[in-house]
Structure 1
Amino acid sequence: MKHHAVQTTHGSDPDAVGRWMEDVDSFLELEDQGNDTVRVPIPLVTRDIIEKLLLAEEETDGGDEDRDALVYQADHRYHSSGEGQQRWPPVVTALPEARTSSSSRRMQSVSPSASTSNAIDTQFCGKAPCRLLLILTIPEREPAKIQQQLVQILALARKLNRTVVLPNVGKGRVGTCQRWDFDTYFDIASTALGGGERMMMMDDFRTWVDMRPLSPTTQVVAVDEGATESNTVVEYASMVHEKAAKTMRCFKTRFRELELENTGTATMHLLPVSEGRSNSGEAAILVNALSEGRDTTNASETTPALPSELDYGTTTASKLPRHSDSDVLLLYWDVRSDLFSTESTTAIDYSPRLWALASQVTKDLQPYLAVHWHIDKLPAAVLPACADALVDMLDILLHDASVSHDIRTVYFSSDHSLMKLASHSEDAQKKSSDQHTAAIDIIQAAFAPGGELERWVLETREGLFTRLNETNGGTGTFDEDQLPLGDTGVQDILARIVSMKAALFVSGTKGCGRLSSAARQVTDFRARAKDHGAIKDVVNLFG
């Protein structure tokens, strides 16, 4: 049953109660139109209103008969079932509190507002207080590496006993201020396995911020691998760091009630693992620096001792803020190394929506062969020779009936279109245009009439998306949740899922590119799924 709150604002005149009941009658008449069931409004009454009602009762000249009539009328509308369950004066269900200024909020101790905040925290986090980790951004743009870094952040959150707010996504990036929900790129269920189910969606975080009478306290934490000396460096500033501030431009509109005016930044420059420091040492520094003074009662693991090789820069350890006291840590994460050891089962999968889209795209292509050629930073001089090597590999595979499995389509995906140059700089374009054009001509000629591969259709990533958009009415979206087909992140992830589902897969060796993280992710998936469904091999290398 849905309850409606009616706030009374009448004065202390004798007719106050009567006018209030007339308002209720009008409300119920509107509610009853077209409904068989009367929804019961629960009035929201403050102590001031109660005093006015008592004063009105004392000043009423109508005697007991008038009062009994009012009681009957009120009971008739506000009892839940049966007779004689009188509820007059109305039940006090909540006492609204005015939001105070940010400075006075921080000075309050235990108060009705604090108590209400604890109740809201319990509702959203299962206990009070909520301790959250909000990902401002991950600068990495490669989807496979983003997945890896998200797993690391989930591990950090477990160490800190905090709940991760799943970031938004968009344009191949991950961060709070991106446009689309997390599940546009990634699977929430597999993420929950890695996060121990201590996660919060961005919409829930916004609701939590808006509902809390006390604005959550915040602290920016920027972590990178920028240490240049032998020690990890921890610095503290009383304002938001510039690089973090650029990722927080949406906060004024999306999180209006979030307290930021007293937010400082703790910057941690970790030593890259490649410089001889074990990842466990850097992980211990990070966890200890962020959990000083925290309650470890519910923590699953004991925090290791703080290593001595810690340089606090211009800030002494005694002056560092207690990060554990902040309701929300705002995390800027630019760490490429695996600091925390994690199980392989904690891998984050791509969104089921993208898998469904890939199934639709490849339905008419199966069985097909997929090519992934990563040519970024490849010397232009080798492009024609590598194109010849690719055509030779395709010729061998497709003309072998025991291998080709009735394949009729070759899907070509690359970090550059078949119609684009290998480099975007003008100087590089002038130097490589002839070689790149020659490579394009070699590939296209192989599929043209009279070419070695004329029996097969060459399908490009760009052509696939064009037809997909046309199939969906040219709206640029897919499914009832409006999956954005024009988003570069959606396109990148979809391209590798299409390669994962191919019967055969071909990629370049070091001499003709490199085994990129995308190709590596595809081959890892195919190694696990080989001989299941349409997948018939892992990878074939050319060059």
Structure 2
Amino acid sequence: MSLSQITRKFVLICFFVLLWYIISSFYFEQKELLSDKNEETLTEVHLTSPLTLSSNTTITDDDRNPLEELNKKYCGKPTCKFLFVYSLGEQETKANLHFRSFSQLAEKLNRIMILTNVGSSRIGTCNKFPFDFYYNTNLLQKEFPNVLFKSENDFIFWLKERDQIKRKINNNDNKVIPPLSILHSSIKLHHKNTNMKTFYDNAVTNFDKHECISKFEPLMNTKDSNNSRVKYTKLFIRTTDLKTEKSRVKSSELLTKVLTIDEEILLVNGYVIFPLFPQIMPVIPYSDHILNEAQKIKDKLSSSYIGIHWRLERSTPELLPKCVQGLIKTLNKVMKEEGIKNIYLATDYPLLSSRSQSSTFKEITNYHHDAIRTLNETFKINTWVSLGGLEQLRKNDKYNKELSGSGIQGILDKLVCVNSNYFISGPKGCSRSSSFTRAIADKRSNRIKNKDSGLLNIIDRWEIHL
């Protein structure tokens, strides 16, 4: 064998030996790496059984109850408790008072107060506008610093989130998040029998429940026991138990006692007329956009004007010719003595359509038409319509019903009359006695104490000669 052949054979042998060494090293290295990975995986995995709270809500090993987490996020505490007064049976001036009373109750019960919808001069869930369409919620919060307020939309959000959690966690065999717990209570005055004492008692299913509550279905379906556990009660209050500050002490204590409950939602259908608590809280401040409209009207009237509130509803139609002559005589006298040239009329007489500005004023006669026509022919009479009030809302069709009846313009009228230099209203027979008029007079009474207010009187009634 030649030298070159021996050399070639030796090189081949060395090559195969080297190749075998490389492959063997790689195999054992990978085997060792794989072994290490398996050991690491086994040491990191901890198999445990599911944890369960006393409420039977199944949770993960991070020890958090999802319903409690929702409540903490929304209410600031593990359990949410709401007071939802979904119906207040009177127009804005008195409804304003009653909402304040129930806000006081929310504070006593340590419950979140739902800001019920508004519209048509009322506070009630049947209406479609949010609470801040009428009221300044920031200033309301300052009046009740210890009460947490939430809008109806916020409430719906909580219901939806709670429902999603329930659906996710519950199963057919083991329902671990219970249905909503609700107490529906009707709180009313005794009307038919004033001798009956105040009492609180259980009520039959669906007692005095307003149909508008159905807007929250299926999230708060009070007819489905799998969805909501509902109790019904009634509280009838004797009128004399609310008429004085002293009597309201006892009745408010009873109210707080019987409604101190564990249910998540306290639904109330209320119609009480008088305050519920001894202390009467200040009027809920109105929204800035209404205040701005009132200021615009005041500026257009050159900041000097006579305000008239003439509510024609329940006037005696046959007296109206004499009523309007008495008003004309009074206006001439005030304008001459005080040097005021401008007149602003707040009225329930139709201004935007053939319907009156009040939902309860339906029988408009020729006597009514003639009286207003005579007034307009004698003076230049300004109204919120003629002065372009709420112009932006009037451009939007969704506000048509609100503006053609009793609604936001009633608040505007109230503010303009409060700021008038001189204020007059009709006597018995010419005008309906109204809490609206009294609210204006009360506000003027507080303001006239300020020497720089520019107010010349609180309220005068014009006279008629029978």
TM-score in terms of structure 1 length: 0.63
2:138 counterpart of 1:172: no
- 2:16: which partner in 1? none
Match of 1:393 among 310, 330, 351: 330
Distance in 1, matches of 2:71 and 2:359, equals 50
- 2:269: which partner in 1? 332
Distance in 1, matches of 2:398 and 2:361, equals 34
- 1:317: which partner in 2? none
Q: Deviations over 1:414-437 (max 9, x none)?
A: 1234887999999966xx53x434
Q: Deviations over 1:297-342 (max 9, x none)?
A: xxxxxxxxxxxxxxxxxxxxxxxxxxx1201101111111222112
- 1:232: which partner in 2? 198
Match of 1:525 among 443, 462, 466: 443
- 2:412: which partner in 1? 494
- 1:474: which partner in 2? 395
Distance in 2, matches of 1:443 and 1:169, equals 33
- 1:445: which partner in 2? 377
Distance in 2, matches of 1:250 and 1:389, equals 49
2:352 counterpart of 1:352: no
- 2:56: which partner in 1? 109
Match of 2:382 among 447, 459, 482: 459
Alpha-carbon distance change, 325 to 420 in structure 1, aligned in 2, over 3 angstroms: closer
Q: How many residues align?
A: 392
Distance in 2, matches of 1:427 and 1:116, equals 54
Question: Is this contact kept in 1: 2:180–2:228, CA < 8 A?
Answer: no
Distance in 2, matches of 1:471 and 1:132, equals 35
- 1:285: which partner in 2? 254
2:238 counterpart of 1:271: yes
Alpha-carbon distance change, 238 to 275 in structure 1, aligned in 2, over 3 angstroms: closer
* Identity rate, percent: 21
- 1:183: which partner in 2? 132
Which runs of 5 or more residues in structure 1 are unaligned? 1-60, 69-88, 90-94, 98-104, 292-323, 448-456
Tell me the CA shift for residue 238 of structure 1: 5.7
Tell me the CA shift for residue 176 of structure 1: 2.9
- 2:148: which partner in 1? 198
Tell me the CA shift for residue 387 of structure 1: 0.9
Q: Deviations over 1:469-524 (max 9, x none)?
A: 6677833589xxx9975673212111211212223222123353254211111122
Distance in 2, matches of 1:422 and 1:470, equals 17
Alpha-carbon distance change, 542 to 519 in structure 1, aligned in 2, over 3 angstroms: same
Distance in 2, matches of 1:371 and 1:383, equals 16
Distance in 2, matches of 1:168 and 1:160, equals 22
- 1:15: which partner in 2? none
Q: Which has the higher contact order (CA 8 A, sep 6+)?
A: 2
Tell me the CA shift for residue 240 of structure 1: 2.4
Instruction: Look up the equivalent residue of 1:283 and give its one-letter code.
Output: S
Instruction: Look up the equivalent residue of 1:335 and give its one-letter code.
Output: V
Question: Is this contact kept in 2: 1:477–1:485, CA < 8 A?
Answer: no
- 2:301: which partner in 1? 365
Distance in 2, matches of 1:174 and 1:371, equals 26
Instruction: Look up the equivalent residue of 2:56 and give its one-letter code.
Output: S
Instruction: Look up the equivalent residue of 1:144 and give its one-letter code.
Output: T
Question: Is this contact kept in 2: 1:186–1:351, CA < 8 A?
Answer: yes
Q: How does 1:101-180 map to 2 (within 5 A)?
A: 108-109=55-56, 111-112=58-59, 115-141=65-91, 143-180=92-129
2:449 counterpart of 1:540: no
SS, match of residue 229 in structure 2: coil
Which runs of 5 or more residues in structure 2 are unaligned? 1-29, 38-43, 45-49, 166-176
- 1:211: which partner in 2? 161
Distance in 1, matches of 2:407 and 2:241, equals 29
Tell me the CA shift for residue 152 of structure 1: 0.9
Q: How does 1:44-83 map to 2 (within 5 A)?
A: none
Point out the structure with max Rg over C-alpha: 2
Tell me the CA shift for residue 194 of structure 1: 3.9
Tell me the CA shift for residue 274 of structure 1: 6.7
Instruction: Look up the equivalent residue of 2:183 and give its one-letter code.
Output: Q
TM-score in terms of structure 2 length: 0.72
Q: Which moved more, 1:415-424 or 1:179-188?
A: 415-424
Q: Deviations over 1:96-118 (max 9, x none)?
A: x9xxxxxxx9x953543982222
Alpha-carbon distance change, 510 to 63 in structure 1, aligned in 2, over 3 angstroms: farther
SS, match of residue 355 in structure 1: helix
Alpha-carbon distance change, 471 to 156 in structure 1, aligned in 2, over 3 angstroms: closer
SS, match of residue 409 in structure 2: helix
Tell me the CA shift for residue 266 of structure 1: 0.9
- 1:247: which partner in 2? 212
Alpha-carbon distance change, 180 to 255 in structure 1, aligned in 2, over 3 angstroms: farther
Question: Is this contact kept in 1: 2:356–2:405, CA < 8 A?
Answer: no
Instruction: Look up the equivalent residue of 1:117 and give its one-letter code.
Output: L
Instruction: Look up the equivalent residue of 1:362 and give its one-letter code.
Output: K
Tell me the CA shift for residue 201 of structure 1: 2.4
Distance in 2, matches of 1:513 and 1:63, equals 101
Q: Which moved more, 1:353-362 or 1:158-167?
A: 353-362
Question: Is this contact kept in 1: 2:242–2:248, CA < 8 A?
Answer: no
Instruction: Look up the equivalent residue of 1:396 and give its one-letter code.
Output: K
SS, match of residue 297 in structure 2: helix
Distance in 2, matches of 1:289 and 1:507, equals 43
Tell me the CA shift for residue 219 of structure 1: 1.5
Distance in 2, matches of 1:417 and 1:411, equals 15
SS, match of residue 488 in structure 1: coil
Alpha-carbon distance change, 474 to 348 in structure 1, aligned in 2, over 3 angstroms: closer
Question: Is this contact kept in 2: 1:372–1:413, CA < 8 A?
Answer: yes
Question: Is this contact kept in 1: 2:180–2:227, CA < 8 A?
Answer: no
SS, match of residue 443 in structure 2: helix
